[in-house]
Amino acid sequence: MEKYTRENIEQLIEEDVEFVRLQFTDLFGTMKNVAITSENLGSALEDKIQIHASSVEGFLHEEEEDVYLKPDLSTFKILPWRPQSGKVARIICDIRQSDGTPFCKSSRDILRKVLEKYEQNGYTFYSHPECEFFLFHTDENGMPTTMTHEQAGYLEMSPLDLGENARRDIVLTLKEMGYAVDSSHHEIAPAQHEIDFRYAKGLETADQMVTARNVIRTVAKRHGLHATFMPKPKAGVNGSGMHIHMILRKDGKNLFLDEKDPLRLSQEAYYFIGGILKNIRGITAVLNPLVNSYKRLVPGFVAPTTVGWSTKSRSALLKVTYNKEGEPRMKLQSPDASANPYLVLALALAAGMDGIENRILPGEPDSEKGSTQKLPENLKEALECMKEDKLAIQVLGEEFFLAYLSAKEMEWEEYRRQVSAWELENYLYKI
């Protein structure tokens, strides 16, 4: 992460930046922004830019006070796809109340709070996400479809991979913005793609994920395509996940490594796994936040459906992987592409640390026999599990927790009232 000072940014702005986008995320990880002219940068850097929080879904009731944006100077980036004359920059912002204290429904601050708690005890949390998405055609009016002309599969290349050029430009744009992309490739389903970042610590991982979503959509549109992070946009194919790779270090050493253990796992690693498994059902409504999320978590599509861990199974909830040197990492495979990265990382870390603090053992790896405990099968079940989960309310805070529950319960009720194409096809002419 680059270190910018106010003076650095003001100098860059003076060179040829006309607009600055002050970005933040809502409860669900959706990027929002306020665009200011370069002349108003001073006010922004003094935390004087106000937003009407009551108009942001889930933030505040109409009668409550508005909040302010506090720019994080380390996130300053010039957007490469904007005009080279009169450039546009962005800064990711935290959200503050009028007295300067963190806003209780700021997901970025929730992650920061969790990170700081464990950093005080000498822990450093590194992670990197797998960013999966689909690239579909648009119709004659530019509206998104679920159509694709390709039949490419895992690691295929052109001419089978018709999205290769768009994916290349996405990676080049991310690199131009200073992000370290490890690899990119075509995924299993037709029109499905993946971009992997290198490990980063702290807020960097979540910041780069929400930025990547914006970049992917923008560049795809320039190619006449629509990028979607919907977990399961088409039946009969694999859905899009957001697998999270995790390393926990203490005093510079990989806390998960014990070279004497048959699996090269330390006692802390086993406890970390145990904490994830113990808490996973209660945090699934955040890791898999949509009605559609649960269309991905079904057997047969390399997605987890049960609570267990493995060093071998591709569909395990938590898979232990190893680098070339044999150092273990934890790979949480249930989160999907629609989830709020700040909340996913906060809850995953807190769940693992719960295991370490309370010495929760995970049982044997389930690669052979599997697990009898299932993940929630729909959003309703996940929300019921979340209501009973002490970790979720502790990490999210009561106000965020209740606001999230309320919004998602409304989403489920709205879904329940709908009649699907499948129902019409199977019942209308037969019954």
Helix 204-222 to helix 164-176 angle (10° resolution) is 130
- Quote the Cα angle for 198-200-201, to 5°: 165
Cα gap 29→78, rounded to integer Å: 21
Q: 403: part of which helix (H) or strand (E)?
A: helix 398-416
Cα gap 317→303, rounded to integer Å: 8
Same domain, residue pair 208 and 83: no
Same domain, residue pair 400 and 330: yes
Same domain, residue pair 384 and 241: yes
Last residue of a domain, one of 70, 103, 136: 103
Closest C-alpha among 8, 11, 17 to residue 38: 17
Place of tokens 């508005």: 66
pLDDT on residue 83: 67
C-alpha of 101 from chain center: 25
Same domain, residue pair 10 and 146: no
Cα gap 180→34, rounded to integer Å: 27
- Long-range Cβ contact pairs of 146-155 (< 8 A, separation 24 or more): 146/233, 146/234, 148/190, 148/191, 150/190, 150/191, 151/190, 152/186, 152/190, 152/191, 153/186, 153/188, 153/189, 153/190, 154/185, 154/186, 154/187, 154/188, 155/185, 155/186
Last residue of a domain, one of 103, 129, 153: 103
Same domain, residue pair 186 and 73: no
Last residue of a domain, one of 47, 77, 103: 103
429: left (phi over 0), alpha (psi -120 to 50) or beta: alpha
Q: In this structure, is residue 13 part of a structural domain?
A: yes
Q: In this structure, is residue 426 part of a structural domain?
A: no
CATH number at 363 reads 3.30.590.10
Each residue's pLDDT tens digit in the chain (431 positions)? 567 788 888 887 877 788 999 999 999 999 999 999 988 888 888 888 888 877 777 776 554 568 899 999 999 999 998 666 678 999 999 999 988 899 999 999 999 999 999 999 999 999 999 999 999 999 998 899 999 988 888 888 888 778 899 999 999 999 999 999 999 999 999 999 999 999 999 899 999 999 999 999 999 999 999 999 999 999 999 999 999 999 999 988 999 999 999 999 999 999 999 999 999 999 999 999 999 999 999 999 999 999 999 999 999 999 999 999 999 999 999 999 999 999 999 999 999 999 999 999 999 997 544 457 999 999 999 999 999 999 999 999 999 999 999 999 999 999 999 999 999 999 999 99
Q: In this structure, is residue 293 part of a structural domain?
A: yes
- Quote the Cα angle for 322-188-383, to 5°: 80
Q: In this structure, is residue 429 part of a structural domain?
A: no
Yes or no: say if 375 and 269 are a contact pair by the CB < 8 Å rule.
no
pLDDT on residue 60: 65
Same domain, residue pair 39 and 72: yes
- Long-range Cβ contact pairs of 143-149 (< 8 A, separation 24 or more): 144/226, 144/228, 145/226, 146/233, 146/234, 148/190, 148/191
pLDDT on residue 1: 52
pLDDT on residue 371: 57
Same domain, residue pair 57 and 129: no
Burial (CB count <10 Å: 0-12, 13-18, 19+), residue 346: buried
pLDDT on residue 368: 45
356: left (phi over 0), alpha (psi -120 to 50) or beta: alpha
Q: 135: part of which helix (H) or strand (E)?
A: strand 123-137
Same domain, residue pair 82 and 125: no
Contacts of 351 (CB under 8 A, 6+ apart): 275, 276, 278, 279, 280, 283, 391
Burial (CB count <10 Å: 0-12, 13-18, 19+), residue 40: middle
CATH number at 20 reads 3.10.20.70
Q: Which residues pair with 181 in a beta bridge?
A: 197
Same domain, residue pair 79 and 156: no
Q: In this structure, is residue 108 part of a structural domain?
A: no
Q: In this structure, is residue 427 part of a structural domain?
A: no
pLDDT on residue 356: 98
pLDDT on residue 74: 92
Q: In this structure, is residue 386 part of a structural domain?
A: yes
Q: Which residues pair with 50 in a beta bridge?
A: 68
Q: How many folded domains does the chain comprise?
A: 2
Beta-strand relationship, 87-96 and 17-25: parallel
Cα gap 296→292, rounded to integer Å: 7
At residue 421, the 3 state secondary structure works out as helix
Q: In this structure, is residue 267 part of a structural domain?
A: yes
Q: How many residues can be counted in the chain? A: 431
The residue segments making up the domain with residue 189 are: 113-421
The sign of the torsion formed by the CA atoms of 336, 342, 343, 344 equals positive
Same domain, residue pair 68 and 144: no
Yes or no: say if 52 and 234 are a contact pair by the CB < 8 Å rule.
no
Torsion from C-alpha of 389, 394, 396, 402, nearest 10 degrees = 60
Q: Which residues pair with 17 in a beta bridge?
A: 87
Same domain, residue pair 35 and 182: no
Cα gap 136→428, rounded to integer Å: 30
Give phi and psi for 277, each to the nearest 5: -65, -40
Same domain, residue pair 289 and 376: yes
